[in-house]
Structure 1
């Protein structure tokens, strides 16, 4: 007899530790040094206002009756993700996007801009030269060629962390493990594996998505404890039977656990062709008549031979596909068959149409 090896996954691939998460940051700034592709200030007054405020901070006052026409400046938004436990002085990548009518940000540099979290506090400061993968070229006759998106770019390591994000991990030693794919069976197996390795009573499944683990209260010992947790291997539960249909591309993905009830399916197609033509009635040369045009419609109905196939109870995915292919069903017909099976209650799977 041959033993079938079990497919075990590491705990770190199955769960997220509660409190260990990224935080989103956003900011507003100015990109300068553009080659005439910046905002048209007549249509983006906020760019002029930002320039005035910046120059005022440097001791330069622009007269109120002067309207600077700056084509090498663009107002932008900056966003980034602040990793968990990021410390002051570390750098993170930022993405810069134009919010005005700038044609391109290629060659520009972002001036120092604070980045705030959802609580309104500044957590990072961004500045640096942009890397723009897009390219846009426009001719005098209005013709235009655009490659990718030139109005957005990135600054690798473009922001310096100024404040660490508050940690939400419990300080009493409790470690909450949140399953990426909630499942009662996986949660039970995970808690049993932890209790088997660390001792009874260490872990308990709270619900289908959360397993509570009692760990050490000391910070350094808790890091070692979580590291050991992540390296454990657990056999996750089998995936739910599901059929996913992409109606735009015609892509169909059928899971291996899909089953059907005893069903008879008839597959055929009905084609209706309508042809319009115009007949001309021309009178004789010496007749006192007029040329008349008369329309004539021709309708043809053709029905291909319908074929019926039988699906037994509990057939596998391979048998379903083989039976449908034998009758020559196209992908569009397969979608209709699956929807019909689902409506009839014969499809023992979740049908998801996206």
Structure 2
């Protein structure tokens, strides 16, 4: 049984391509993980998510512990069986959602006390409870619990949150290692924090390395700091983490963000953008985002993206998808989401191929020039 093995097959500058081997399957890197927050990638069947090229999806501790409940999912055989996805699942620790969705939060050394966004009931999410929930779900890649503050927070606030997150990382490690059979087949990732401060990021990385994790995430970005600030942080943050472990940029992102992050050594990504945009009428294409609700598409007989091999583009015209979306038909959201997930997986395959061929700079420049041409 392969618990967790990361292999780097090729490098081009800071960028790497390879694979993560786990019991439930191989994850090709750089990898994009569609977000299945509440045990579903919205508007998609699991087999269709897999057909798009996804090797792994993301679930969320906060949402699943509130509804339907982690203990219930465990009684029903675990998250994979519950949602019909047989390949690896990474679960977010819930820290971001506690801070962004909940009301009346109170942070202490123990954890975060919060009111549910669903019904106002009080809950406590601590490092130990977060890991327990992820264990009950049967997660393949478990995230340590951390405290998120905006990337633009004052240095004192960022430093305090980072230091607390590092103490929680130790607690997460201890609780994970108590997991018996689950710990024997799952992996645990630590999360680097420190805002946009290079020294705080380095201190965070050193603390995480001292604890020891299977992979390392760059946390606290994609929270309003902007593309240029994010890239500036990624110029140094990934290099502070172990070279022989996967590096995961949480919550990113836009296609051009992903390309720039891969250039800087990031191996894993997740974002709600392709699914959320699909439900609101935005299709991603090589020529930039396309708003299918626009009246100019009402008579167009070409696919969303000419040349795209996805089922939506090979079977349906822009005019029909425009009609579905404007009419509020469920099929419109399904077709748009399917195309977007295929686009993201094609983006990742293109990056993997370019790194392997040692032509990433050329490939990235061509992609970005075309994608941003109409911006």
TM-score (norm 1): 0.18
The structure carrying a bigger strand percent of its residues is: 1
Select the structure of larger CA radius of gyration: 1
Higher relative contact order (CA 8 A, sep 6+): 2
